[in-house]
Amino acid sequence: MSAQEIAIASLDGGSFSGYLATPTAGAGAGMIIIQEIFGVNQVMRRLADAYAAAGYVALVPDLFWRQQPQVQLDDHSEEDWNKALQLFQGFDEDKGVEDLIATLNTLRQLPECTGKVGSVGFCLGGKLAYLMATRSDAACNVGYYGVGIENNLDETGNIQKPLMLHIAESDQFVPPEAQATIRVQLSGHPQVTVYSYTSVSHAFAREGGQSYDQAAAELANSRTMAFFQEHLT
């Protein structure tokens, strides 16, 4: 596996960076890793490395570049938490999706990418993965504990490619009413699979995080990898 920083051309004439991890084989299906509110930090980079080790060409775009480029925050620091929440409050969601579509375009054009590209996102990225399913032509998308999905359920009719969502039932940022609304609105959609995990909190799959739950994380990750193997090969 190899890793490097690359430039991604935005749809509105700008440019931002992305962390690219390439598998040892040198080529594979594409995978966009969509950041949490802590930027393209070591957690996201390790995820990209893991996906590259599994055979994917993984790219983590810097979605906070319009506010502050190259953000790398630590979820164990109170000061960094406050900074992350400030960046989240100032984040332009629509522009973020546009930047993900630009990332999709860039990844598809890389010689290492064999064609199909999926996305997987966490927290803020979990919501953005849902919006990639409604607003882009990515081959498939996975969202972990996305915050605010219930506010965009009117876009569900746009979903034409497979989408998987992982919901933490004790998520302090996604109240039970929101979870219920998501499940009801998406139930029966032929392209959508929703899994709920009991007794776990937001960020249960963030290895090393305060809410990490190994059993739930391993179950969710195994479902995700099987999903990508089915839809990206």
- Residues 6 or more apart in contact with residue 106 via CB below 8 angstroms: 6, 8, 9, 18, 59
| Gyration radius from the chain CA atoms | 16
Residue 40 and residue 69: Cα distance in Å, rounded?
A: 10
Catalytic residue among 171, 189, 213, 231: 171
Residue 137 and residue 119: Cα distance in Å, rounded?
A: 11
User: Catalytic annotation on 80?
Assistant: no
**Exposed / middle / buried, residue 82 (Cβ in 10 Å: 0-12, 13-18, 19+):** exposed
Catalytic residue among 75, 80, 202, 213: 202
User: Catalytic annotation on 202?
Assistant: yes
To the nearest 5 percent, what fractions of the chain are helix, strand and coil? 40, 25, 35
Candidates 209, 31, 223, 229; CA nearest to 115 is 31
Q: Which residues are catalytic?
A: 171, 202
